[in-house]
């Protein structure tokens, strides 16, 4: 890593810890379509996260107790940013100039933005970034800056009370190659009466955390929007408009009700994103990762049985080429939602004990312009065979004294075979009777031979875990001596 304005020093607060991406995170990121979670315990005082070159940086407000190597499944902290006039709080690299931009916090909570530039001579030069008219000298704090892909736009959070709609708002500034323009508030579509923090720009999307929704009761949730909208007819400069697109709350697993979620960042080299949440540990934060883009389709609906009763606990898997990429389960009301990446064809399977597995293809269509996430409703019915109740099939064999299952018989048994394939831990009890002639001994012997054929077919078709018991119901039975020609198979599936 290039050591621009860095020293190896562990005595200053807050700490800025970095962790190499060369371990398990990178190894798990080969499938860019998967949305997954990776947990790792962080210090209780971690405030934000960013990706710089091939490293992940966590920003802790106090020293870490114990060996830092235990924090992130083997990741170890090996450097911190040294403080300049105040303590370094956040760092990001400009995509076109390569300059490092970092913020510092003083003991009064004020945050300042600095630019670290390496001149052609190799000399390192650090200066405070000043907007036209000395904007920062007038009391505007800067937190968590982020850049568009071409480096022409910077978005950041600011706490200047006399200019903000809330305590913390998102602002943007444009870069002319040397200096930044006066910041502009991103407006009411993005900023609320609450706080908007930790912005990040990736693939033209602006992601940020906000606690402005009253339903969150002061907790932060992650939101996303297109950073740019198309140039409007009234835009005489020809530039794209910023902050004009629809803002959407990111679905699970990014946001879970009742938890804080913030600090999303993305490492382009490893195609992996990260964010922080406290959902699993009330006394600290967890580190989560995902791979893929944020643009997607939110598929939602209700799963019911054939009587339209909602089915809780249905497992829903989204797969591609046999690989499960993401999963969810229905709630107590049978409702579900699952997040799929755009432009992909998925196979969704719906599974519940005692029901047939339903599998359906779903094409995650690209959303409308300006929409990061589209929604599509998809309700599903699951069907099953009666478990613990007897039912029967008739005439599964050929005419006369044929002992092999007929083509029609095999077709009739397909639902049973499929059901037991979907529910492979069941026990199957079968009772077969035949009434071909008025001779009960002949009918019993015929039944024995047909049992062999039936058992062979089922054992070849069913998983080995299914226990099969077949009984001859014709031994000495009057019902097997009337010569009606009826064969009957009685079935009992036990839980």
Tokens of 339: 């997040």
Tokens of 485: 């020609």
CA dist., res. 159 & res. 36, Å (int)? 33
Tokens of 245: 């697109």
| CATH architecture of the domain with range 297-382 | Sandwich (2.60)
Sequence-distant (6+) residues with CB within 8 A of 411 are none
CA angle 272, 59, 169 (to 5 degrees): 85
Judge whether 15-293 and 297-382 match in fold: no
Distances from the Cα of 387 to the Cαs of 127, 393, 403, 464, in angstroms? 75, 16, 28, 19
Tokens of 71: 């924090």
Residues 457/413, Cβ–Cβ less than 8 Å: yes
Beta bridge partners of 394: 488
How many other C-beta atoms are found inside a 10 Å radius of the C-beta of residue 418? Answer: 15
Tokens of 409: 């018989």
Helix orientation angle between 407-422 and 440-461, rounded to the nearest 10 degrees: 50
Instruction: Dump pLDDT digits (tens) for 27-42.
Output: 333 333 345 555 555 6
Concatenated DSSP letters for 289-304?
Answer: EEES-S-EEEEEEEEE
CA dist., res. 370 & res. 367, Å (int)? 8
Q: How many residues are present in the chain?
A: 495
Which pLDDT does position 18 carry in this prediction?
42
Which pLDDT does position 162 carry in this prediction?
53
Q: What is the DSSP letter of 41?
A: B
- CATH 1.20.120 at 15-293, yes or no: no
Weakly modelled stretches of the chain, pLDDT under 50: 1-34, 62-86, 131-135, 137, 232-238
Residues 337/300, Cβ–Cβ less than 8 Å: yes
Domain ranges of the chain: 15-293, 297-382, 391-494
CA 237 to chain centre: 39
CA dist., res. 204 & res. 227, Å (int)? 6
Instruction: Dump pLDDT digits (tens) for 316-365.
Output: 999 988 888 888 999 999 999 998 888 788 999 999 999 999 999 998 87
Class of domain 391-494 as given by CATH: alpha beta
Which pLDDT does position 370 carry in this prediction?
60
Neighbour-count burial for 258-275, b at 16+ CB within 10 Å, e otherwise: ebbbbbbbbbeebebbbb
Distances from the Cα of 368 to the Cαs of 138, 242, 295, 375, in angstroms? 41, 18, 11, 11
Residues 76/70, Cβ–Cβ less than 8 Å: no
Residues 480/444, Cβ–Cβ less than 8 Å: yes
Which pLDDT does position 373 carry in this prediction?
82
Beta bridge partners of 375: 298
Sequence-distant (6+) residues with CB within 8 A of 182 are 131, 132, 133, 135, 173
């Amino acid at each position: 890593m290039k050591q621009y304005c860095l020293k190896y020093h562990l005595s200053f607060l807050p700490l800025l810890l970095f962790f190499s991406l060369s371990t398990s995170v990178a190894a798990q990121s080969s499938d860019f379509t998967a949305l997954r979670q990776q947990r790792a315990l962080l210090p209780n005082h971690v405030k934000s996260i960013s990706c710089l070159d091939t490293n992940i940086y966590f920003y802790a407000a106090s020293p870490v107790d114990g060996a830092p190597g235990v924090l992130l499944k083997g990741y170890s902290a090996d450097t911190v940013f040294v403080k300049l006039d105040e303590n370094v709080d956040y760092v990001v690299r400009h995509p076109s100039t390569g300059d490092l931009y970092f913020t510092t916090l003083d003991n009064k909570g004020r945050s300042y933005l600095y630019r670290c530039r390496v001149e052609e001579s190799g000399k390192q030069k650090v200066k405070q970034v000043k907007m036209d008219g000395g904007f920062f000298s007038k009391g505007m704090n800067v937190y968590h800056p982020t850049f568009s892909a071409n480096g022409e736009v910077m978005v950041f959070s600011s706490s200047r009370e006399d200019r903000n709609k809330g305590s913390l708002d998102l602002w943007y500034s444009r870069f002319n190659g040397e200096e930044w323009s006066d910041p502009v508030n991103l407006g009411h579509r993005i900023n609320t009466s609450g706080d908007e923090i930790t912005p990040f720009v990736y693939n033209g999307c602006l992601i940020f955390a906000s606690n402005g929704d009253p339903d969150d009761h002061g907790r932060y949730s992650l939101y996303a929007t297109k950073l740019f909208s198309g140039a409007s007819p009234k835009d005489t400069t020809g530039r794209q408009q910023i902050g004009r697109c629809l803002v959407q709350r990111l679905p699970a697993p990014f946001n879970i009700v009742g938890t804080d979620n913030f600090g999303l960042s993305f490492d382009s080299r490893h195609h992996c994103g990260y964010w922080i949440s406290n959902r699993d540990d009330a006394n600290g934060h967890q580190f989560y990762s995902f791979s893929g883009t944020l643009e997607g389709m939110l598929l939602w609906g209700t799963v019911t049985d054939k009587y339209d009763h909602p089915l809780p606990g249905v497992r829903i898997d989204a797969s591609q080429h046999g690989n499960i990429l993401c999963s969810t389960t229905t709630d107590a009301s049978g409702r579900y939602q699952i997040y799929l990446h755009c432009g992909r064809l998925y196979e969704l399977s719906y599974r519940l004990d005692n029901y047939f597995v339903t599998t359906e293809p779903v094409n995650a269509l690209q959303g409308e312009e300006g929409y990061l996430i589209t929604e599509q409703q998809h309700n599903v019915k699951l069907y099953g065979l009666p478990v613990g109740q007897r039912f029967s099939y008739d005439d599964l064999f050929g005419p006369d004294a044929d002992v092999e299952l007929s083509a029609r018989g095999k077709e009739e048994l397909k639902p049973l075979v499929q059901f037991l394939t979907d529910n492979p831990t069941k026990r199957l009890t079968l009772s077969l009777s035949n009434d071909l002639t008025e001779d009960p001994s002949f009918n019993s012997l015929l039944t024995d031979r047909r049992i062999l054929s039936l058992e062979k077919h089922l054992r070849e078709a069913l998983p080995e875990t299914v226990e099969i018991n077949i009984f001859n119901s014709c031994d000495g039975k009057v019902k097997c001596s009337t010569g009606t020609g009826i064969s009957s198979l009685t079935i009992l599936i036990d839980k």
